[in-house]
Amino acid sequence: MTAFTVNGREVRFEGEARTHLADFLREDMGLTATHLGCEHGVCGACTLVKDGKPVRSCITYAAACEGAEIRTLEDFRDDPLMARLRAAFKEHHGLQCGFCTPGMLATGYDIVTRLPDADEARIREELSGNLCRCTGYMGIVAAISAVLAEGPHERPGLPARAPQIGAADFGRPAAVPPVAASASAPAASRPAPLTDGVTIARAARIGLPATDVWAVLSDLRQVAACLPGASVERIEGEAVEGAFAARIGPMTAKFRGTAFVSYDAAAMSGSVAGAGGDQGSRSAAQGEIGFSLAPQGEAACELRCRIAYRLTGPLAQVGRPAIVEGIVDRMLQDFTANVGAAARGEAPAETAAPGIAGLILAALRNIFARNGKRGDPS
């Protein structure tokens, strides 16, 4: 195992020794500002900052980074000098396709902080390890020269970061947070409350006594068995490790992560909050579910659910509100049916991962059905 920091975040690499740093950053951390070109250390597209110096991440082994401080372009988002470099590249037409630009910016940042008196010839020499097939380099050299003329520029120290700054805006986390060892997980281990996600509230009637349904809802393994695609791998106190899978055409996206659960048996209510990522699609999800049972006489009850979630990465493109509401409706129907079956001692009707395409078609049918009812003069 190799431990180092990426954009201020401690990470552990436990993969194959031949894995280069660029692949680890892109595939495991979702930090895709690091571009891969030749993968032979020639083109410079993968250049980033390691221990304060620009290096080619495609010929740097992740396993050889023990104790290193890695900074990718994502970590410079609030850096005023990097902002000036980006503006200069725009002003002097220093980019066209943009593929080489992350590496150019990393090298340019090093030039303007290390070589305050560099002339055009020296700039070109320093850039000789970064290839560009679009611009002819004139704009890139002019941009770096313009920033140098405003100097001298001191290399700033490492920024004061929030705990997750520098992590990808999309992509799975580098590692799923471990389950807390104590019976009650510390508050710091729990994901921060969602403030910018999508929230959907639904209610469904179940023709069984509330106490019978609560016996199912208060058992996490039974709940997972009732929700198609969900699985529980380990439970320790309020912390749960598990996964949720969904079929997308011929492939399956499987979000793995940790959730924290709380119950109020007297009120027959509870909540689940967690986060996880999918290795294949480099997508991440954070979600919160609140649920409660309201008795309706002695032989029926109403299951009320409030779902809030945020999905980032390539899979977020299916997150259009109308479609998502339809998908949630369909999943709630399946979940409710399975909870009822479990309360009667029967096996769940469906346990396979839900297909996104099928859920979307069902959602469209539900949307059209609702719209048809609204327009029905009867």
Rounded to the nearest 10°, the torsion over CA 113, 117, 122, 127 is: 20
pLDDT of 250 reads 45
Give me the CATH topology for the region 187-375.
Alpha-D-Glucose-1,6-Bisphosphate; Chain A, domain 4 (3.30.530)
CB 204 within 8 A of CB 303: yes
Look-up of token digits 């529980």 = 232
Output the six-digit token pair for 158: 């490492």
User: SS3 of 20, please?
Assistant: strand
CB 32 within 8 A of CB 168: yes
pLDDT of 99 reads 94
**In this structure, how many other beta carbons lie within 10 angstroms of the beta carbon of residue 144?**
29
Point out the residues of the chain with pLDDT beneath 50: 162-188, 248-251, 319, 351-352, 355-364, 367, 374, 377-378
pLDDT tens-digit profile of 309-324? 777 766 665 545 555 5
pLDDT of 255 reads 79
From-to residues of CATH 3.10.20.30 in the chain: 2-149
For 207, which DSSP code?
S
pLDDT tens-digit profile of 319-352? 455 555 666 667 777 888 888 888 888 887 654 4
pLDDT of 144 reads 97
In the chain, what's the furthest Cα-to-Cα distance?
A: 86
CB 345 within 8 A of CB 330: no
pLDDT of 246 reads 64
**In this structure, how many other beta carbons lie within 10 angstroms of the beta carbon of residue 298?**
9
**In this structure, how many other beta carbons lie within 10 angstroms of the beta carbon of residue 140?**
28
pLDDT of 233 reads 85
- Is domain 2-149 in CATH 3.10.20.30, yes or no? yes
φ, ψ for residue 288, nearest 5 deg: -135, 135
Q: Which residues pair with 9 in a beta bridge?
A: 6
Output the six-digit token pair for 192: 């921060």
pLDDT of 171 reads 31
Contacts 24+ apart (CB under 8 A), 145-149: 145/120, 146/88, 146/91, 146/92, 147/81, 147/84, 147/85, 147/88, 147/108, 147/112, 148/111, 148/112, 148/115, 148/116, 148/118, 148/123
CA distance 111 to 98: 20
CA distance 33 to 25: 9
User: SS3 of 176, please?
Assistant: coil
Cα of 132 vs its chain's centroid, Å: 31
From-to residues of CATH 3.30.530.20 in the chain: 187-375
CA distance 177 to 167: 14
pLDDT of 372 reads 53
pLDDT of 320 reads 52
Whether omega for the bond prior to residue 354 falls within 30 degrees of 0, making it cis, is: no
For 59, which DSSP code?
G
CA distance 113 to 233: 50
Q: Which of 10-27 are b and which e, b meaning 16 or more Cβ less than 10 Å from the residue's Cβ?
A: ebebeeeeebbbbbbbbb
DSSP assignment of 290-340 equals EEEEEE-SSS-EEEEEEEEEEEESGGGGG--HHHHHHHHHHHHHHHHHHHH
